[in-house]
Amino acid sequence: MTTTSAARKLAALLDSFQRRRPMRAGSLIVTIYGDAIVPRGGSLWLGSLLDLMAGFGVEPGLVRTATSRLVADGWFERTRVGKQSFYRLSAWGASEFATATARIYRAGEPAWSGEMQVAFIATADAGERAAHRERMLRENWGQAAANVMVRPHAEPEGGPTSNPSSQGGAETVRIGDARAPADIVVMLTRPQDAENARALARACWQLDALDAAYRGFLTAFGPVTDEIEAGALLTDAQALQLRILLIHDWRRIVLRDPLLPRAMLPEDWPGIRALQLVSGAYRQVLAGAERWLDRHVVNEGGPLPPPSMAVAERFRPM
């Protein structure tokens, strides 16, 4: 295992990224900010962003177009100091990424009480039913029938849930940012056995597409991360590139993963191995990537401040 071999495999990943069409420069910029810039104060000079994006083969004109669109769409805010432009996530953009952060950098599987929440969308209005379904699907509920949604019930901090029958079978939950509306009735139930739980998962979530995505992730990143785990070295610039590519592709998968308990997943679920890969590789390249940022990127006040302590805790078991 040599540094040259690891660098060659990283170069192949970069080449593959550059050949993607369409080139979603805005999505990569959001990854860079959420992963590396927000923990260091959140603001970045456009010139530094251009340098960062050049490492991924993105042309300056495409970067400028993408940042303008991100501002127009409400993701970013721009400030000017003299002739220089600086960008940061807007309050809304920062909130969106903060919500995603817990899923992207999680260390283990979610807690599960062994029960399922079953939600019946009871409104008679077809438009309202469709709106409820779409919102709940975005929140990773599974769809069991046209107006029946399900998801695993996490055991509360106080311990196991009480018997639903003692509460009339209903369970208070939140849909979106608010308490479930009166026209959604949520109840608790328990699968008969492990096979029944896995069958429910297969029926209600698109696990085949996720399986393929995770296997593709493992195939793409496995060769270079295996070498790093075995002691191969990358330059600080290469460490940052691998870190960003890892999180960019990882978040595209994990944010559409319902993160079901392991007991509900098929045997040899590739998402478990993908989490092990990304968490191990991230810790390996983190120090080098941060050194590159220390030396090469600036905001309105000069070099970026040190990263927050939360960065060192990413992917670490509690």
Q: How confident is the model over 141-184, as pLDDT tens digits? A: 999 999 999 999 986 554 544 443 333 344 456 666 556 677 89
User: Residues 194-215: pLDDT tens digits?
Assistant: 999 999 999 999 999 999 999 9
Considering only residues 85 and 24, tell me which one the structure prediction assigns the higher pLDDT: 85
Grade residue 110 by pLDDT with cuts at 50, 70 and 90.
Answer: confident
Does residue 17 belong to any structural domain of this protein?
A: yes
d(CA 245, CA 247): 6
Average of per-residue pLDDT across 295-312: 96
Mean pLDDT of the chain: 90
Q: Are residues 125 and 270 in the same domain?
A: no
Of 190, 222, 243, which one is at a domain's C-terminal end? Answer: 190
Domain shared by 140 and 217, yes or no: no
Q: What confidence score (pLDDT) does residue 168 get?
A: 36
As a whole-number percent, the residues of the chain with pLDDT over 90 amount to 79
Residue 307 in this model has a pLDDT that exceeds 50 = yes
Q: At residue 225, does pLDDT exceed 70?
A: yes
Same domain (yes/no): 91, 210: yes
* 70/147 same-domain check: no
Domain boundary, last residue among 190, 221, 255: 190
pTM: 0.88
Residue 153 lies in a domain: yes
283, part of any domain: yes
* Three-state helix/strand/coil letters over the chain: CCHHHHHHHHHHHHHHHHCCCCCCHHHHHHHHHHHHHHHHCCEEEHHHHHHHHHCCCCCHHHHHHHHHHHHHCCCEEEEEECCEEEEEECHHHHHHHHHHHHHHCCCCCCCCCCCEEEEEECCCCHHHHHHHHHHHHHCCCEEEECCEEEEECCCCCCCCCCCHHHHCCECCCEECCEECCCCEEEEEECCCCHHHHHHHHHHHCCHHHHHHHHHHHHHHHHHHHHHHHCCCCCCHHHHHHHHHHHHHHHHHHHCCCCCCCHHHCCCCCHHHHHHHHHHHHHHHHHHHHHHHHHHHCEECCEECCCCCHHHHCCCCCC
Q: Which of 163, 190, 217 is the last residue of a domain?
A: 190
In a domain, 198, yes or no: no
pLDDT for the residue numbered 55: 95
Domain extent at residue 159? 116-190
Q: What is the pLDDT of residue 311?
A: 95
pLDDT at 173: 63
Are 96 and 152 in a shared domain?
no
Q: Is residue 269 part of a domain?
A: yes
Residue bearing the bigger pLDDT, 294 or 166? 294
Check residue 272 and give its pLDDT. Answer: 94
Same domain, 171 and 141: yes
Same domain, 63 and 13: yes
**Domain co-membership, 80 together with 7:** yes
Q: Integer distance in angstroms from the first to the last C-alpha of the chain?
A: 33
Percent pLDDT > 70 in the chain is: 91
pLDDT of residue 33: 96
CA torsion 275→218→199→113, rounded to 10°? 0
Bigger pLDDT: 4 or 137? 137
Residue 1 confidence (pLDDT) above 50: no
Q: What is the pLDDT of residues 234-258, one digit of tens each?
A: 999 999 999 999 999 999 999 999 9
pLDDT for residue 160: 47
Confirm whether 195 is domain-assigned: no
Query: What confidence score (pLDDT) does residue 181 get?
Result: 72
| Tokens matching residue 257 | 């993963």
Question: How do residues 39-97 score in pLDDT, each as one tens digit?
Answer: 999 999 999 999 999 999 999 999 999 999 999 999 999 999 999 999 999 999 989 88
Residue 200 lies in a domain: no
Same domain, 89 and 236: yes
In a shared domain, residues 102 and 211: yes
Same domain (yes/no): 220, 93: yes
- Mean pLDDT is lowest, of 19-28, 31-40, 139-148, 179-188, for 179-188
Tell whether 105 and 134 lie within a shared domain: no
Calculate helix-pair angle for 46-54, 25-32, nearest 10 degrees: 110
Number of independent structural domains in the chain = 2
| Domain CATH code at residue 17 | 1.10.10.10
Q: Is residue 217 part of a domain?
A: yes
